[in-house]
Chain A
């Protein structure tokens, strides 16, 4: 049997998570280089429509893995269902997007199958018949090429934005769909999840802002937020922050950028004292221009900045506010 790559797409409450297209693009790229067969699976209850949507892409086969117990999502049901499925349909590689849901069940699933998950990868290399996956380490300060040393399957989860969803190739004809009913016995699922909800109506929609001035730990004290606010006002932009600032209550949670906050793509993202932890970067790397001011010349934010200023923001920002005002006058 040829080696198989299985992409498990993500659905939540019956809707395909669009980040799954990136994972299919990754699978197609790896399949093209290795010659492995590429298949996909959707897991849930009554998700045949999603299987149909996925089957339009260049894939050898799509599985619709079904059980009433898979809705709502629980890690117990997903791990149980997929363990059974993968024991019957062995794959060499299992690819998924690195979402909060995947983070919740994949380590459990991999452990149950006595294998491992290479998590939050940002790319891959195929060298001398060996696949290496690239991960960020030490909050993005270093990258590591990681190899799989087990007997399989090897799970890999890809960070949001690592592959381009618009590169997914359509199939010449629709891929065949096989419906697989899985049995999740009573007692397997121990958690009882309640409805998903949003804390409060988002007061600020940062996704629409053209200019965002964002502050991180480098702002040091709550009273210094005012300085960033003045710069945002001078530029006619919105004020935002990295997670620690909102955790401290220095700015409301609805101004948080990153994996647990908003994902933005403004014309200008001006990062003040933000080191650029991965969880922040995923929320703003789509910005058209990134300007970073940070005292640490090795801060990961500079890896993705278009314009970088290494220096003390408390010296530079006041001067910057004056210059912006002059330019606008």
Chain B
């Protein structure tokens, strides 16, 4: 199986984020990491390759810093990488991101394309499905299990409130992967060494721009959300805070 994994670099989960002066985006001087569901998507691709042989290719769209995501993926066992490199890729809507990726892989044929189910920054939850539509491929979302069958694959979709569903589908196909589908591996020292010699293709904005259009949605303003509640902050040493909190649980919330 030849599998493409779309990965994204996002700010670290507990990184303190600050708005830029224009209030249109965050200040970029923060720590980044791989978008969590994308890490699970990569792991699943590596496991499928180990089972069925084949090739795992990783792709990301982002500035130079995003290369780190590809390096880590190569160190974990991906065979090669594609980097759509440029600051312009940060501000794309899901539609244009998908168009850019589709243009970058137009000469390749993958059996499966994985994305994480959504990103921790924009949270659109759309890029994978849009990519499927652009490529004319069937898709399934929020996948928790993938098995190869004679006719294609059988996937387990997560539905809401603890429900699931198996779906049979032909290949090639696009799947958006849910966090927790597997257990992530760590890169080995030898993997990290080997990664340096694996092929990396850089793609510039100019190479894919013809396939893209203007963004169909625009962030007019980014801001700290207005609080809908009057939150009371309890302060002091732990023992004192515990005492205050229990008083409130007893006298105000009446749950003790």
Contact = CB atoms under 8 A, between A and B. Distances in A.
Contact of B14 (A100, A253, A296): A296
Interface string A301-329: 01111111111100110111011101110
Given A75-B140, A192-B169, 6 more contacts: A110-B95, A111-B130, A119-B123, A139-B120, A196-B163, A311-B241
Interface string B150-169: 00000001111111111111
A304 B170 contact: no
Given A119-B124, A142-B222, A196-B159, A315 B141 contact: no
Contacts of A116: 93-95, 216-217
Main secondary structure of the interface of A (DSSP, over half): mixed
Interface of A: 75-76, 79, 99-101, 103-108, 110-112, 115-120, 132, 135-150, 190-199, 202, 210-211, 217, 235, 243-244, 246-247, 253-254, 259-263, 267-268, 275, 278, 288-289, 291, 296, 298, 302-312, 315-316, 318-320, 322-324, 326-328
Interface stretch (B44-52, B185-193, B197-205, B228-236): B228-236
Contacts of B219: 137, 144-146
Interface residues of B, number: 80
Contact of B162 (A101, A135, A141, A199): A199
22 contacts: A75-B141, A100-B158, A107-B125, A108-B139, A111-B130, A137-B222, A139-B13, A141-B17, A142-B222, A143-B222, A144-B220, A147-B218, A149-B218, A190-B170, A191-B140, A246-B180, A253-B162, A261-B162, A268-B253, A289-B255, A304-B228, A306-B230
Contact of B225 (A143, A319, A326, A327): A143
Contact of B241 (A107, A112, A244, A309): A309
Given A138-B120, A211-B255, A275-B14, A260 B245 contact: no
B189 to A, nearest CB: 25
B207 interface: no
A147 B162 contact: no
A319 B239 contact: yes
B229 A306 contact: yes
B113 interface: no
A265 B229 CA distance: 17
Contacts of A107: 94, 125-126, 129-130, 133
